[in-house]
Structure 1
C-alpha cells in the first residue's frame, strides 16, 4: 500500500465537508460575505491572517490569481479572520451532527490529533497556520481539524514538488487532467483559467516534450507527472512514518466508513477538482 496516498484518500473527504456542505455558505452569508468564492477563500485563508490575494494565490497555487483577487482582501472587510475561523468550525459542527448523528468519534479524534501533531510543517505555510490554531474540544471537530492540518501539509508538499518540476499553476492542472484526472471543464470551472491560458500552458508543455500534438502526455510527461506524485507521497509520508504502521492503519480503518458514506451520498461530486476518486 502507498501509505501516504491511501491516508490522503481516506482523510480528504472528511476535511472536504467544509467545502461542500451548505452549512459553510450559510455561516459566511450571515457574516455578509458575497458568494461562494469569497466564502471559500476567506475560510481557507483565515488561518494565515488578513493576507492579500498575492500571498493566497501563491500558496494555494493552482487558482487563477484574478479569481482570488475578486474575493480578497474584500472578505476581510466583512469578517475578520478570527470570525471566519469560528464560522467554519461552527459550520462543520452542524454539518457533521446532521450527517453523522450519534456517531462516536473519540478514537478517530485521538489518533487523528496525534498524527496531525506529527505532520511536517516546516516549509509548509498553510499547514503551519492551521497547526497553530487552538484545538476544539468536541471529538468530531478534533478529527476535522486534524484532517485539515494533514491535508494542508500534504498540499504544501505537493506545491513544492510542482515548483521543483517546473510546472506552473495552470500547467499542473493540464498535466493532471492529461494523466486521467479531473476534466479540463471541471478545472476551468473551479480554478478559472481561460481557454487561451490553458492553450498557452499546453503549448509550452509541448515545446518541452511533455505533451503530444493531441494533448496527451508523452512518455517524458508521464514520467515527470509520476515524479511529482511520488515526491508528494514521500514528503507526506514523513508524518506517517513518525506515527507508525499500526496507528496509521487504525486511523485509516476508523475514518474510512465516514468518508465512504460522504462519497456514496454524493456530498462530494464524483468529478471534483481535488482529484478525489473513491472505489
Structure 2
C-alpha cells in the first residue's frame, strides 16, 4: 500500500465523524435544515460560501445533480455558511468528547496541522476553501480540520484523475464497484443514480471495452481503474513527501487507533460510500 493511501485510511474516519455522528444532524435540525442530506451538503460546502447546486455537484463529482439540487440552495435559507461552519465544529467537538473521554490530541494536532499546511491546494477548490478557514483552538478540533483539508486535497486530486480518465460521475461509481468497492445498491442509495442511468453508464463503458457483458472490468478496465488510483495516490503524496517519512509515520500511528475505534464501534458503516475498507 502506498504511503498516501495508508494515510488516507488512517485519517479518513476521524474526518468522517462530521458525517456520521448524530451531533451534526441534531445541530443542523435545530437551525431548520431539512434532513441528513441537506445537513451534509450544507456543512461540507459551507467553506465555499453560499454556492449553488451546479457548482457543488461539479466539485463533489459523484452525486446526482438532482440530489444536490434538493438541498441547495435551500439550505442557505435556513443558515448562512458561517453558521454551518460553526455548527460543524461544535458538533465535532461534542462528538469527540463523547467518543474519546480521555486522551491527549496535542501531538497529533501539531503534526496534522503541519501536514495540512503542506498539502497541495492549487487546482483543488474544496481543499483550498477549507485551508483558508481560521484554525480552531482545541487540539482535537485542529486535528479534525487538518484531516478535512488533507482528505479534500486528496479528493480534489481524485476528481481530476477521473476527468482525465474520461469517467463520468456515474461511471466512476460503476467502475469502483466493479473493482470490488461498495455495491451498486450502496452507491445508488447514497448518490441517487437511477437504474437506467447506471445501465447507460455501464453500456458506454462496455462500448469502450472497459466492462464485459457481465458487468465485470475487462483487463483494460482494470488497468484504467488502477491508473486512476495510482495517480490519485501520487498527487496526494506531494504533501506527505514534504512532511517526511518520520513525521508522517508518527501522525499515522497517533491517529490510526482513534480511527480504529470509530470503525469498530459502528459509527462509520463497514460498507460505506467512501469506499473505505478497514483492516
TM-score bin, normalised by smaller chain: over 0.9
CA RMSD of aligned residues (A): 0.4
Is 1:44 aligned to 2:25, yes or no?
no
Match of 1:247 in 2: 247
Cα distance in 2, alignment partners of residues 48 and 18 from structure 1: 17
Is 1:69 aligned to 2:69, yes or no?
yes
Cα distance in 1, alignment partners of residues 47 and 198 from structure 2: 31
Match of 1:152 in 2: 152
Superposed CA deviations along residues 55-75 of structure 1, whole A, max 9, x for unmatched, are 000000000000000000000
Superposed CA deviations along residues 130-166 of structure 1, whole A, max 9, x for unmatched, are 0000000000000000000000000000000000000
Q: How does 1:222-261 map to 2 (within 5 A)?
A: 222-261=222-261
Cα distance in 2, alignment partners of residues 224 and 132 from structure 1: 34
Q: How does 1:120-131 map to 2 (within 5 A)?
A: 120-131=120-131
What are the ranges of 5 or more consecutive residues in structure 2 without an aligned counterpart? none
What are the ranges of 5 or more consecutive residues in structure 1 without an aligned counterpart? none
Superposed CA deviations along residues 6-32 of structure 1, whole A, max 9, x for unmatched, are 000000000000000000000000100
How far does residue 191 in structure 1 lie from its aligned partner after superposition?
Answer: 0.2
Match of 2:142 in 1: 142
Q: How does 1:1-279 map to 2 (within 5 A)?
A: 1-279=1-279
User: Once superposed, which parts of structure 1, at least 4 consecutive aligned residues long, lie more than 6 Å away?
Assistant: none
Would you say how many aligned residue pairs link Structure 1 and Structure 2?
279
Superposed CA deviations along residues 172-196 of structure 1, whole A, max 9, x for unmatched, are 0000000000000000000000000
Cα distance in 1, alignment partners of residues 224 and 50 from structure 2: 36
Cα distance in 2, alignment partners of residues 218 and 42 from structure 1: 38
Cα distance in 1, alignment partners of residues 254 and 34 from structure 2: 37
State the SS of the aligned residue for 2:227.
helix
How far does residue 102 in structure 1 lie from its aligned partner after superposition?
Answer: 1.6
Cα distance in 2, alignment partners of residues 261 and 80 from structure 1: 33
How far does residue 103 in structure 1 lie from its aligned partner after superposition?
Answer: 1.5
How far does residue 215 in structure 1 lie from its aligned partner after superposition?
Answer: 0.1
Cα distance in 1, alignment partners of residues 87 and 176 from structure 2: 33
